[in-house]
Amino acid sequence: MSFYVVAAVLLMVSLLTYAIYLHYLLRREGSRQEGLRIALAEHAQQQRQEVNNSIQILARGCQQGQLSLTETSIRIRGLLNALSLDIAVLEEFSAFAQLADAASHIPILEEWKSLSGAKKKTFDQEREQLEGLHSEFVLSAANRIINRKF
């Protein structure tokens, strides 16, 4: 009978030791995952701050006439969309999206470079007309967006 008692006690001690070891591994993995979660959150916050800084630079450039209203609108709209903001915020700054959408048919980058001089002039005139129609709203939105954090 004592053999069975000793065997049972050894089995229980073994199982308890194994359970403690598994608990240790689980806690260590939880700590590792928490560290990763914190690092990921910090990285996301840093990226969000970089996007905010870019928006501020673009808005100031627009105010100072360093960027066209169309270029500003295209870039800011893309950055605002990248932030996954509330619909109310996107509506508040919809002037950027409206001008960007109105000018979306105008070629950019490599397509622009491949255009003839006459075509470029035509598109420039059209862009200037669109900017004239939207300038008050875009400049107002640029003024409101300065120093705002999203």
Does residue 58 surpass a pLDDT of 80?
Answer: yes
Q: What is the mean pLDDT of residues 89-94?
A: 94
> Mind spelling out the 3-state secondary structure of the chain?
CHHHHHHHHHHHHHHHHHHHHHHHHHHHHHHHHHHHHHHHHHHHHHHHHHHHHHHHHHHHHHHCCCCCHHHHHHHHHHHHHHCCCCHHHHHHCHHHHHHHHHCCCCCCHHHHHCCCHHHHHHHHHHHHHHHHHHHHHHHHHHHHHCCCCC
CB of 145 closer than 8 Å to CB of 59? yes
Give residue-wise pLDDT tens across range 27-41.
Answer: 999 999 999 999 999
Portion of the chain with pLDDT greater than 90, in percent: 90
Does residue 150 surpass a pLDDT of 90?
Answer: no
Q: State pTM to two decimals.
A: 0.78
Does residue 1 surpass a pLDDT of 80?
Answer: no
CA–CA dist 95, 26 (Å, integer): 52
Q: Using CB atoms within 10 A of its CB, is residue 105 exposed (0-12), middle (13-18) or buried (19+)?
A: exposed
